[in-house]
Structure 1
C-alpha cells in the first residue's frame, strides 16, 4: 500500500491532488488540524493534514462500457463517513464530560472537531459532484461530443448546454445503448423544441394599434419597420402610419421618410413626449401605427427610462425589442435585462444573414422569458423577414445531422 501525507488549507484542496497523484481509487485514511510555521511558537497558521493511500497492485480494470456507477466513489464516501462518525464521537465525548472538566481547551477541541466535520461534509459533496462528472465524461460518445462542441460554437448558455447533454445521457444510460449521431440530433431537437414551445406563436398582437420598436443603434429598427409596414399595406391592405423620435442619428428621419413615400404612408416626427398627442391626432385615420425610437446605449438604464417615457399611449399598444445577431451575447443580455424591467417581453432579431452563431436567441428567450416575434435577414423590403418558427430556428442552431 502506498501512503502519502498532504498539508493543505482545507480538505477539498487535497482531493484533486490525491486524484492526480494516487489515482481515482485512492482513499482518505485520516485527517486532522495542525499548526505550522510561526516564530518561537507564535503566529502559527492552521492547516489540515490529510493522509491518503492506494493499493500497490490494483486489480486490472474491467473492459470499457457505459458506466452504471464509479467504483471509487463508494470507497471514498465510506472513508468520509468513517471520518465524520469519528469526529462526531469525539464531539459527543467532549459534550458529555463532567461540568468541571469543560475547560477552554475542551471548548477549543469541540470547535476543532466541528470544523473538521464541516470540512469533511464539503469534501463529500465535492466527491459526489466529481463522481457524477466522471460518469458523464465516461459515457460521452463521439456523437455527444460533436453535439457538445456544436453547442459551444453556437454560444448556448452553459447551464442549458449541460442540461441538454445530461438529458440525452440519461436516456442513453436508461436504454443501455449508444445513440447514433442522427439519434442524438433528433433527441436534442426534440428537447430544445419542448423548452421553446411556451414562447412560440407570439407574434406582434393583432389587437395593438400602436407598435413601438426599441433597441440599440444600428440594429436595423428602421428597415425592419419598413418591411413590416410593406407587408401590412401591400399584402394585408391596411392603412399604416409612421412616427419617429429618432432625431439623434443623422439622416434617420430621411431614411424613414423615404420608405414612407415609397409605401405612401404618412410620417410624423416627435422630439419629446409632449409631441405625441399631436402626432397621434394627425394619424387618426391609420389602422396601425409603427413608432421608430432612437437607438441609444441601452446598457444604461437611464437611456432605457428616457425611451420608456415615449412609449406611453392611450391606444392598444405593445413594444418590441429589436436586437442584432451581430452583437455580443453579453451586451444583448444587458439590454434585454433593462427593458424587461419595464415590461418589454417581445423581441425581434435582425441580421441573421451576417452570422453563423444563433445561440444568443435561445439564451435570451430562456433566461429572460422573451417571446421571439420575427427573424430578419438582409435588406430587401418586404421579403427578408419571417415569423419565428421553432423548427427553422433549431435547424439553424444545430446544423446538419450528418457530417
Structure 2
C-alpha cells in the first residue's frame, strides 16, 4: 500500500493532487487541522493535513470483490442514494432534486464525478472550478465511509470531529444548490413581481415575509389572475398585507385605562410620546392626567417631563425605587389616568428589564413598548424579546418622519405579534401622533408603483 501525506489549506485542494498522483481509487485515510511555520510559536498558519493511500498492484482485491472496494460503508442500503437520485431526476426532470438527494444521503458508491455532474446540472451554467469544488466536497463525504465503520467499533474524538465537519460541508453544499434553484425561480417571475420584490428589499422587509407575499401572488397568477400590470399587482399585494395587519390594530388608550406605562430603550421618544398622549387626554377628552417618572438615570429627563407637566398643568411624582410607586399612585388618586415614564436602559440586560418590570408590578395597568422606526429590525427584535415574557403586547412606533424605510414595523408585528397602537411622526405636541392604521402604513410601505 502506498501512503502519502498532503499539506493543504482545504481538503478540496488535496483531491486533484491525490487523483493525479495516486489515482482515482485512492482512499483518504484521515484529515487533521495543524499549525505550521511561525516564529517562536507566533504567527503560525493553520493548514490541513490529508493522508491518502492506494493499494499496491499485488494486494488489490479480485474483481469479484470490487463492489466492496475502498469506500464500502458499514451498511449500504439496497437502494443507494445514487440510484434514488437518478430515478428522481429521470421522473421529474429536476436535477436540483437529484443533487439534493445525493447530499441528503451521501453514499459510498457514488463517484465524485457523478456527484459533481449532478451538482453542475443543478447549478446550470457553473464554472469548472465550481464543479471541482463540488467533487471535492463529495469526495470528502465519501471518505467518511471507512471512518464511520471504524467509529462503530472504536469511537474516537478525531473521527467525531471529522464527521461533524463533513456533515457541515455537505449541508452548506445543499444550501448552495437550493439558493441557485431559488434564484432561477426568481428569474422566471414576471417583471412586475421583480419590481415588487425590489421595493420590499428596499424597505428591509424580512425575506420570510416578502417570500410569503410573493408566493401568495404567484398562486393568484396560477389561478388565472392577470398581474402583469404593476398597479394591479400593487393592489393585490396591498390587500394581502392588510389581511395580515388588520388583526393587530389596537384601539389605543381606553376610558377604563387608569395606569399607562411606557417602556423601551433610551432615545426612542418615550417622554415626548407621553406628553403627546397626555395632551390628547387633557385637551381633547377632558380627563385629569397625572405623571410619574422613574427615569432618574438620564440627565435632565425629569426636567423634560416636568416642563410638559407645567405646560399641561398636571401633577408629577418622581420615584427612585419600586417601593415608592404605590405612594406615588396614592398621591395621584384623584387623577383619571396616570402616565408613567420608565428609565431608558440597555435592554440587552435581563437585570434592567426585570428592574423596570418591578416598577410596573406595583400597580396594574396597560403597558406600551416604545420603539423607533429608525432602528434596525434585529435591535428592535432583541428589545421585544426581553419584554414579551412580561406580558407586553402593545407598541408605539416613533420617528416616522426621520426615515423612508418602514419594513421593520411589519417584521416585528408579524414575528412577535405586537399590536401597534400609535405612530408618532414629529416633535409637535399633541399633533404628531396618530392611531396606527393598516391602510396608511401599507401605503407607505409599498409606495406608488409609478415611482418604483
TM-score by length of 1: 0.71
Report how far residue 80 of structure 1 moved: 7.8
Report how far residue 135 of structure 1 moved: 6.3
Counterpart for residue 291 of structure 1: 340
Match of 2:93 among 74, 83, 89: 74
Counterpart for residue 231 of structure 1: 280
Match of 2:27 among 21, 25, 35: 35
Counterpart for residue 183 of structure 1: 232
User: Are the counterparts in 2 of residues 9 and 46 from structure 1 also a CA contact under 8 Å?
Assistant: no
Deviations 1:231-253 (A, max 9, x none): 00000000000000011111111
Structure having greater relative contact order (Cα 8 Å, sep ≥ 6): 1
| Pairs within 5 Å for 1:127-166 | 133=182, 136-166=185-215
Counterpart for residue 325 of structure 1: 373
Deviations 1:16-73 (A, max 9, x none): xxxxxxxxxxxxxxxx99734735549xx9699x99xxxxxxxxxxxxxxxxxx9995
Q: Which moved more, 1:321-330 or 1:302-311?
A: 321-330
Distance 1:171 1:285, change over 3 A: same
Counterpart for residue 388 of structure 1: 436
Distance 1:74 1:293, change over 3 A: same
Any unmatched runs of 5+ in structure 1?
1-7, 11-31, 52-69, 88-104
Deviations 1:102-122 (A, max 9, x none): xxx9x96xx9xxx9xx9xx99
Instruction: Give the secondary structure class of the aligned counterpart of 2:367.
Output: strand
Distance 1:40 1:149, change over 3 A: closer
Match of 1:379 among 421, 427, 447: 427
Report how far residue 143 of structure 1 moved: 1.4
CA distance in 2, matches of 1:187, 1:132: 26
Counterpart for residue 321 of structure 2: 272
Q: Which moved more, 1:266-275 or 1:166-175?
A: 166-175
User: Are the counterparts in 2 of residues 202 and 372 from structure 1 also a CA contact under 8 Å?
Assistant: no
User: Are the counterparts in 1 of residues 406 and 445 from structure 2 also a CA contact under 8 Å?
Assistant: yes
CA distance in 1, matches of 2:291, 2:449: 44
Q: Which moved more, 1:254-263 or 1:173-182?
A: 173-182
Distance 1:192 1:250, change over 3 A: same
Q: Does residue 206 in structure 1 map to residue 255 in structure 2? A: yes
CA distance in 2, matches of 1:310, 1:354: 31
User: Are the counterparts in 2 of residues 172 and 179 from structure 1 also a CA contact under 8 Å?
Assistant: no
Report how far residue 133 of structure 1 moved: 2.8
Report how far residue 81 of structure 1 moved: 12
Distance 1:40 1:76, change over 3 A: closer
Runs ≥4 residues deviating over 6 A = 45-48, 77-84, 125-128
Instruction: Give the secondary structure class of the aligned counterpart of 1:353.
Output: helix
Distance 1:326 1:134, change over 3 A: closer
CA distance in 1, matches of 2:101, 2:355: 63
| Pairs within 5 Å for 1:34-113 | 35-36=27-28, 38-39=51-52, 41=54, 73-74=92-93, 76=95
Counterpart for residue 118 of structure 2: none
Distance 1:127 1:358, change over 3 A: closer
Distance 1:169 1:251, change over 3 A: same
User: Are the counterparts in 1 of residues 27 and 53 from structure 2 also a CA contact under 8 Å?
Assistant: no
User: Are the counterparts in 2 of residues 230 and 263 from structure 1 also a CA contact under 8 Å?
Assistant: yes
User: Are the counterparts in 1 of residues 213 and 240 from structure 2 also a CA contact under 8 Å?
Assistant: yes
Report how far residue 169 of structure 1 moved: 1.6
CA distance in 2, matches of 1:334, 1:80: 38
User: Are the counterparts in 2 of residues 35 and 47 from structure 1 also a CA contact under 8 Å?
Assistant: no
TM-score by length of 2: 0.64
Report how far residue 207 of structure 1 moved: 2.1
CA distance in 2, matches of 1:235, 1:47: 81
Deviations 1:349-402 (A, max 9, x none): 011000001001001100011000000011100000000000000011111122
**Count of aligned pairs:** 328
Counterpart for residue 59 of structure 1: none
Distance 1:255 1:40, change over 3 A: closer
Distance 1:260 1:9, change over 3 A: same
CA distance in 1, matches of 2:228, 2:431: 40
Counterpart for residue 361 of structure 1: 409
